[in-house]
């Protein structure tokens, strides 16, 4: 079976470009979208840039006198020539298979199974809260006041979900 490939676009600034490097970098994600849709052409760029809300709008000079001399198409060509756009095919990465260690079954379990099985989900959540409390106690007891907001957030979550009570019943 052939490995799947993805097209990756590289967008940079041409030397002697009319647009600044920061403008080229800001517009790069939009350029990629236009290239992918086949609209990276002078006439199409003008239509994309016409609305004031368009990220390309400020790259054009929308002055009637100026446009009579240079024209929107010429401006569009200058803007397009400011970008160095090329693509390459790269192999697609295989999807990652996420697993979580579940202490009660002493093994790695696929994430999808953990979140869809209440018993496993509760076991992982209990382990996570135990680890979080241990971390909080370790750093709170030695005076790390910089974590005060984190400690307060942990206490608020415990209060809201009555986790202190749950921890006492599990420990008993």
Are 62 and 131 found together in one domain? no
Give residue-wise pLDDT tens across range 84-108. 887 777 777 766 678 888 888 888 8
Which of 42, 67, 91 lies at the terminal end of a domain, its last residue?
Answer: 91
pTM: 0.45
- Give the domain extent around 51: 5-91
Same domain, 12 and 86: yes
Q: Are residues 14 and 85 in the same domain?
A: yes
- What rounded mean pLDDT belongs to the chain? 80
Alpha-carbon distance of 144 to 31, in angstroms, equals 47
Residues 50 and 119 in one domain: no
pLDDT reported for residue 118: 92
Q: Tell me what pLDDT residue 127 has.
A: 87
Are residues 57 and 109 located together in one domain of the fold?
A: no
Q: Which of 50, 72, 91 is the last residue of a domain?
A: 91
Q: What is the total count of domains within the chain?
A: 2
| Boundary-marking domain end, from 91, 108, 123 | 91
The answer on 47 and 30 residing in a single domain is yes
The 3-class SS string of the chain reads CCCCEEEEEEEEECCCCCCCHHHHHHHHHHHHHHHHHCCCCHHHHHHHHCCCCCCCHHHCCCCHHHHHHCCHHHHHHHHHHCEEEEEEEEECCCCCCCEEEECCCCEEEEHHHHHHCHHHHHHHHHHHHHHHHHHHHHHHHCCCHHHHHHHHHHHHHHHHHCHHHHHHHHHC
Q: Is the pLDDT of residue 4 over 60?
A: yes
Give tens-digit pLDDT for 35-50. 888 888 888 888 888 8
């Amino acid at each position: 079976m052939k490995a799947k490939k993805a097209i990756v676009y590289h967008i940079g600034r041409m030397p002697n470009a009319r647009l600044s490097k920061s403008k080229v970098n800001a517009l790069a994600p939009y350029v990629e979208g236009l290239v992918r849709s086949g609209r990276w052409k002078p006439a199409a760029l003008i239509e994309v840039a016409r609305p004031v809300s368009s990220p390309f709008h400020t790259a054009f000079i929308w002055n009637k006198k100026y446009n009579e001399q240079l024209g929107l198409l010429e401006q569009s060509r200058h803007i397009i020539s400011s970008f160095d756009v090329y693509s390459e095919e790269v192999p697609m990465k295989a999807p990652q298979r996420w697993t979580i260690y579940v202490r009660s079954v002493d093994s790695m379990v696929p994430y999808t199974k953990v979140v869809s099985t209440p018993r496993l989900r509760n076991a992982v959540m209990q382990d996570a809260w135990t680890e979080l409390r241990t971390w909080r106690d370790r750093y709170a007891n030695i005076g790390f006041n910089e974590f005060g907001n984190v400690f307060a957030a942990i206490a608020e979550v415990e209060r809201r979900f009555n986790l202190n009570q749950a921890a006492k019943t599990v420990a008993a």
